[in-house]
Structure 1
Amino acid sequence: MMMKGVPAAAARLGLAGLIPFVGLAALAHLAPGSGARSWLAAYGAVILSFMGGCRWGFAATGMGEGPAVRPLVLAVAPALYAWLSLRAPAPFDMELLALGLLALYLADLKLTKDGGAPHWWPALRLPLTLGATLSLLAGAAA
């Protein structure tokens, strides 16, 4: 199973978080004038910001380097990137958000290896990152 070792509550809530991604991407294709595309981009930005917040939480609890300047700056960067991505014209906004999620996943692999995130973090992040990224790219193509 892809989420081996992930706490059940984290797995369930994480998977539930994919519902808006998948639903809005589908709606963007089925009803192009519905506004689903802009809702999808906004949700993607919120989730990318949230993922940065997770990194802040890991640092604040003393994982990895702890609450030092570098990990805290890196924790804020996803929110700033997401905010700026929303200013890009379509379809680049969602493509940039997808790229941000993928880049943050790769950074989180290193963070986990260095003791800055729980050992199960990549197992949770992989399917969620793939689902969110594919949804954003599908929405960008709508």
Structure 2
Amino acid sequence: MNAIPRSALLLGLAGLLPFLWGAATVLLPDLGLWGQMTLGGRFIGPFVQLFYGAVILSFMSGVLWGFATRAAGQTATASYVLSVIPALWAFFMTGGGPTTAAMNMIVGFIGLLLLDWHFWKLGLAPAWWMHLRGLLTAIVILTFLPLVF
């Protein structure tokens, strides 16, 4: 059974809202101006995307850590080590200005997808996991592209 549970799908899609909002405020300058005046600079454009992206990469490290608890022996040790990579990536790679940080975020989310696949192949993630993660990762990467190009 590879069907994504409805609650996981809905919450995953809801989690895209800050990424989508940030991209919209970059692509639509009037919306960005409205957001700046109404919400403040922290909640528009690259600021919201990069900060939220770091939060999500860190969150996903916790998810992978949870998957690692299902492993045994050397596989468990390797899984714990791999699970912290997204959080460390977010910590070390989000500086250097919005374009560089956005590019690093894209690389981070692609790397996360590879880790998702690894944990899934080991049977540590649910059968439907890659269907959800592929969809969400593709959308997240698309939202970072306006910051890069």
Structure 1 portions without partners, runs of 5+: none
Q: Indicate how the Cα distance of structure 1 residues 49 and 66 shifts in structure 2: closer, same or farther if over 3 A, else same.
A: farther
Shift of 1:110: 2.3
| Distance (whole Å) between structure 2 residues aligned to residue 106 and residue 67 of structure 1 | 16
Shift of 1:63: 4.2
Please name the residue that 1:128 is paired with: 136
Larger Rg: 2
Please tell me the root mean square deviation across aligned C-alpha atoms, in Å: 2.0
| Distance (whole Å) between structure 2 residues aligned to residue 139 and residue 75 of structure 1 | 27
Alignment equivalent of 1:54, drawn from 63, 79, 89: 63
1:85 to 2:93 alignment? yes
Alignment equivalent of 2:118, drawn from 101, 110, 114: 110
CA contact (8 A) 1:63 1:117 kept: no
- Name the % identity: 38
* C-alpha distance after superposition, 1:6-52 (max 9, x if no partner): 11110000011111111111112323674321111111111111111
* C-alpha distance after superposition, 1:73-127 (max 9, x if no partner): 2111110101112122230101111111112112211221111211111011011
**RCO higher in structure (CA 8 A, sep ≥6):** 1
| Distance (whole Å) between structure 1 residues aligned to residue 55 and residue 9 of structure 2 | 19
Q: Which range is displaced more, 27-36 or 74-83? A: 27-36
Q: Indicate how the Cα distance of structure 1 residues 38 and 53 shifts in structure 2: closer, same or farther if over 3 A, else same.
A: same
Letter in 2 for 1:41: L
Structure 2 portions without partners, runs of 5+: none
1:96 to 2:94 alignment? no
| Distance (whole Å) between structure 1 residues aligned to residue 108 and residue 10 of structure 2 | 23
| Distance (whole Å) between structure 2 residues aligned to residue 68 and residue 77 of structure 1 | 15
For residues 8-87 of structure 1, the aligned pairs below 5 Å read 8-31=6-29, 34=36, 35=41, 36=44, 37-60=46-69, 62-63=70-71, 68-87=76-95
| Distance (whole Å) between structure 1 residues aligned to residue 14 and residue 71 of structure 2 | 27
**3-state SS of the aligned residue for 1:68?**
helix
Letter in 2 for 1:19: L
Q: TM-score w.r.t. structure 2 length?
A: 0.82
Q: Which range is displaced more, 81-90 or 127-136? A: 81-90
